[in-house]
Amino acid sequence: MVVMEDYDVIVIGGGSTGTSVARDCAMRGFRTILFERGDLASGATGACAGMISGGTKYVLQEPEFSEMCTREVVTLSRIAGHIVFRTPIITAILTEEEIKLRASFVEKYGALTEKRQASPILILSPQEARSLEPKLSNNIILAAYFDEMFIDPFRLTVLTALSAKQHGAEIRTYTEVVDVLHRDGEVYGVRVKDRLTGRDEEIRGRIVVNAAGAWVPEISRIVGIKQTLRLNKGAHVVFDRRITRFGIICRALDGRTVYLFPHETGSILGTTAIDIFTSPDEAEATYDEIEYLISSMEMAVPSVRDARIVRVMCGVRPLIAQWWVPEGDVTRNFRVIDHEERDGVRGLVSVEGGKLVVCRAMAEKITDLVCEKLGREAECRTHLEPLPGADGKVNVEEIASRYHFSPHTAGRLISRQGTLSSIVLSEASNERSLLSSVCLCEAVTEAELRHVIRNEWGVTLDALRRRTRMGMGPCQGFSCGFKAMAILAEERGMGVEEAFRELERFLAERWRGHIVVLRGSQLSEYEMTQAAYACVGSIDMKVGEEE
Amino acid sequence: MIETEILVIGGGVAGLLAATKATDEKLEVTVIDKGSGASYQSSGVIDVMGCPLGEATLKPIEGIAQVIECSPSHPYSVISSERNVTNVIKDAIRYLTSMASNRGVEFKGEIERNVVLLNTIGSFKLTCFYQSTMDRGVLHKLEGASLLVTGFKGLVGFNARFCSSSFKHFASKFNIELRKTSSTELSLPSLREFNLTIIELARMMDEDDFRKDLAKKLETEIAVNDVSHVALPTLGLKKPYENMRIFEEETGTSVFELVSPPPSVPAQRLMEALEEEAIERGVRIFRGYKAVGFEGEGRSIKSVTLASGEKRFPAKAKAYILATGKFIGGGIVEERDKVKETVFNLPLYDEKGEPLKRQNISRLLAKSPFPREGHPLMGCGVKVNAQMKPVVNDEVAYDNLFAAGSIISGYNYVREKSGMGVAAVTGYIAGMNAATHVEGG
Ligand SMILES: Cc1cc2nc3c(=O)[nH]c(=O)nc-3n(C[C@H](O)[C@H](O)[C@H](O)COP(=O)(O)OP(=O)(O)OC[C@H]3O[C@@H](n4cnc5c(N)ncnc54)[C@H](O)[C@@H]3O)c2cc1C
Ligand SMILES: Cc1cc2nc3c(=O)[nH]c(=O)nc-3n(C[C@H](O)[C@H](O)[C@H](O)COP(=O)(O)OP(=O)(O)OC[C@H]3O[C@@H](n4cnc5c(N)ncnc54)[C@H](O)[C@@H]3O)c2cc1C
Distance (Å, whole) CA B248 – CA B135: 13
Q: Residue B269 contacts by C-beta under 8 Å, 6 or more apart in sequence? A: B44, B105, B131, B237, B238, B240
Percent of chain A surpassing pLDDT 90 = 83
Q: Residue B249 contacts by C-beta under 8 Å, 6 or more apart in sequence? A: none
CB atoms within 10 A of CB B401: 27
Q: Which residues pair with A61 in a beta bridge?
A: none
Q: Do A439 and A530 belong together in one domain?
A: yes
Closest CA to ligand 1's atom 53: A315
Average pLDDT of span A525-536: 94
Q: What are phi and psi of A170, to 5 degrees?
A: -105, 135
Q: Which residues pair with B333 in a beta bridge?
A: B340
User: How does residue A431 score in pLDDT terms, banded at 50, 70 and 90?
Assistant: very high
Q: Look up the CATH number of the domain holding residue A344.
A: 3.50.50.60
Express each pLDDT in B96-155 by its tens digit: 999 999 999 999 999 999 999 999 999 999 999 999 999 999 999 999 999 999 999 999
Q: Which of A508, A536, A546 is opposite residue B259, by nearest beta carbon?
A: A536
Q: Do A222 and A239 belong together in one domain?
A: no
Average pLDDT of span A134-156: 95
Q: Do A294 and A351 belong together in one domain?
A: no
Looking at this protein, which amino acid is placed at residue B123?
S
- Measured at the CA of A136, the angle between CA A133 and CA A138, to 5 degrees, comes to 130
Q: Is the pLDDT of residue A474 over 50?
A: yes
- Which residues of chain B from 377 to 406 reach within 8 Å of chain A, CB to CB? 378
Q: Do A222 and A336 belong together in one domain?
A: yes
Domain range for A254 is: 85-148+230-317
Q: Is residue A211 included in any domain, yes or no?
A: yes
Looking at this protein, which amino acid is placed at residue A440?
L
Dihedral of CA atoms A502, A34, A47, A101 in degrees, nearest 10, equals: 180
B173 to chain A, any CB pair closer than 8 A? The answer is yes
Distance (Å, whole) CA A242 – CA A307: 10
Omega before residue B314 within 30° of 0, cis: no
- Which residues of chain A from 490 to 529 reach within 8 Å of chain B, CB to CB? 490, 495-497, 499-500, 504, 507-508, 510-511, 515-516, 518-521, 523-524, 526-529
Q: Is the pLDDT of residue A129 over 80?
A: yes
Contact A519, A307 (CB under 8 A): no
Average pLDDT of span B395-414: 97
Q: Residue A424 contacts by C-beta under 8 Å, 6 or more apart in sequence? A: A413, A417, A447, A448, A451
3-state helix, strand, coil in chain A (%, to 5): 40, 25, 35
Distance (Å, whole) CA B235 – CA A251: 58
How far, rounded to the nearest angstrom, does the alpha carbon of residue A213 sit from its chain's CA centroid?
A: 13
CA-based Rg of chain B, rounded to a whole angstrom?
A: 22
Express each pLDDT in B331-363 by its tens digit: 999 988 889 999 999 999 999 999 998 777 888
Omega before residue B181 within 30° of 0, cis: no
Residues of A with CB below 8 A from B334's CB? 519-520, 523
Residues of A with CB below 8 A from B262's CB? 528, 532
Helix H segments across A54-200?
63-79, 96-113, 126-132, 153-166
- Measured at the CA of A272, the angle between CA A268 and CA A276, to 5 degrees, comes to 135
Say what the pLDDT of residue A301 is: 97
Average pLDDT of span B431-440: 96
What are the residue ranges spanned by the domains of chain B? 2-105+268-349+376-440, 120-260
Average pLDDT of span A398-415: 95
CATH class of domain segment(s) B2-105+268-349+376-440: alpha beta
Average pLDDT, chain A: 93
Q: Is residue A125 included in any domain, yes or no?
A: yes
Cα–Cα distances in angstroms (integers) from residue B350 to residues A15, A17, B381, B409, in the given order: 44, 48, 7, 6
Distance (Å, whole) CA A542 – CA A530: 16
Say what the pLDDT of residue B418 is: 98
Instruction: Burial-class residue A5 by CB neighbours within 10 Å (0-12, 13-18, 19+).
Output: exposed
Q: Strands A200-210 and A348-353, how do they pair?
A: parallel
Average pLDDT of span A363-379: 97
pTM of the model: 0.95
- Nearest Cα neighbor of A470 from A395, A413, A390, A528 is A413
Instruction: Burial-class residue A218 by CB neighbours within 10 Å (0-12, 13-18, 19+).
Output: middle
Contact B269, B243 (CB under 8 A): no
Q: Do A144 and A269 belong together in one domain?
A: yes
Query: Does the ipTM surpass 0.90?
Result: yes
Distance (Å, whole) CA A349 – CA A322: 20
- Which residues of chain A from 287 to 346 reach within 8 Å of chain B, CB to CB? 287
Contact A143, A129 (CB under 8 A): yes
Looking at this protein, which amino acid is placed at residue A460?
T
Contact B155, A486 (CB under 8 A): no
Q: Strands B319-322 and A444-445, how do they pair?
A: unpaired
Express each pLDDT in B113-126 by its tens digit: 999 999 999 999 99
Average pLDDT of span B273-297: 97
Say what the pLDDT of residue B301 is: 98
- Which residues of chain B from 97 to 126 reach within 8 Å of chain A, CB to CB? 119, 121-126
The structural domain count of chain A equals: 3
Distance (Å, whole) CA A447 – CA A424: 6
Contact A60, A109 (CB under 8 A): no
Residues of A with CB below 8 A from B117's CB? none
Q: Is residue A443 included in any domain, yes or no?
A: yes
User: How does residue B369 score in pLDDT terms, banded at 50, 70 and 90?
Assistant: very high
Contact B381, B74 (CB under 8 A): no
Distance (Å, whole) CA B387 – CA B30: 20
Say what the pLDDT of residue A57 is: 67
Q: Do A274 and A348 belong together in one domain?
A: no
Average pLDDT of span A97-121: 76
Q: Which of B124, B166, B362 is opposite residue A516, by nearest beta carbon?
A: B362
User: How does residue A546 score in pLDDT terms, banded at 50, 70 and 90?
Assistant: very low
Task: Mark yes or no for CB contact A531/B419 under 8 Å.
Answer: yes
Consecutive H or E run containing A259: strand A257-263
Q: Do A295 and A351 belong together in one domain?
A: no
Domain B120-260: assigned CATH number: 3.40.50
Instruction: Burial-class residue B293 by CB neighbours within 10 Å (0-12, 13-18, 19+).
Output: middle
Q: Which of B196, B262, B361 is opposite residue A532, by nearest beta carbon?
A: B262
**Which residue would you say has higher pLDDT here, B221 or B274?**
B274
Distance (Å, whole) CA B378 – CA B438: 32
Q: What is residue B354's DSSP assignment?
A: P
Does ligand 2 have an atom closer than 6 angstroms to the CB of B38? yes
Say what the pLDDT of residue A544 is: 66
Q: Is the pLDDT of residue A116 over 90?
A: no
Q: What are phi and psi of A309, to 5 degrees?
A: -90, 130
Distance between first and last Cα of chain A:
39
Mutate to test the interface with B, among A431, A538, A539, A546 (most CBs of B within 10 A): A538
Q: Which of A432, A436, A538 is opposite residue B126, by nearest beta carbon?
A: A538
Average pLDDT of span A65-87: 95
Q: Is the pLDDT of residue A156 over 70?
A: yes
Q: Which of A521, A540, A546 is opposite residue B370, by nearest beta carbon?
A: A540
Average pLDDT of span A452-459: 98
- Measured at the CA of B202, the angle between CA B201 and CA B205, to 5 degrees, comes to 90
Q: Is residue A212 included in any domain, yes or no?
A: yes
User: How does residue B37 score in pLDDT terms, banded at 50, 70 and 90?
Assistant: very high
Q: Is residue A475 included in any domain, yes or no?
A: yes
Distance (Å, whole) CA A291 – CA A284: 14
Q: Do A255 and A212 belong together in one domain?
A: no
Closest CA to ligand 1's atom 19: A355
Q: Do A366 and A467 belong together in one domain?
A: no
Does ligand 1 have an atom closer than 6 angstroms to the CB of A150? no
CB atoms within 10 A of CB A396: 17
Q: Is the pLDDT of residue B291 over 50?
A: yes
Q: Do A434 and A529 belong together in one domain?
A: yes
Average pLDDT of span A81-104: 88
- Nearest Cα neighbor of B294 from B348, B347, B344 is B344
Contact A515, A311 (CB under 8 A): no
Distance (Å, whole) CA A55 – CA A131: 28
Q: Is residue A252 included in any domain, yes or no?
A: yes
Q: Strands A247-251 and A84-93, how do they pair?
A: parallel
Say what the pLDDT of residue A1 is: 60
Q: Do A360 and A301 belong together in one domain?
A: no
Helix H segments across A189-326?
216-222, 287-298
Does ligand 1 have an atom closer than 6 angstroms to the CB of A217? no
Does ligand 1 have an atom closer than 6 angstroms to the CB of A54? no
Contact A203, A7 (CB under 8 A): yes
Q: Is the pLDDT of residue A545 over 70?
A: no
Does ligand 1 have an atom closer than 6 angstroms to the CB of A177? yes
Consecutive H or E run containing A451: helix A446-455
Q: Do A122 and A247 belong together in one domain?
A: yes
Say what the pLDDT of residue A547 is: 38
In three state form, how does the secondary structure of A73-92 look?
A: HHHHHHHCHHHEEEEEEEEE
Q: Is the pLDDT of residue A372 over 50?
A: yes
Distance (Å, whole) CA B290 – CA B295: 15
Q: What is the largest CA-CA distance in chain A?
A: 73
Closest atom of ligand 1 relative to the A16 alpha carbon: 25
How far, rounded to the nearest angstrom, does the alpha carbon of residue A310 sit from its chain's CA centroid?
A: 18
Q: A45 CA to middle of ligand 1, Å? A: 4
B365 to chain A, any CB pair closer than 8 A? The answer is yes
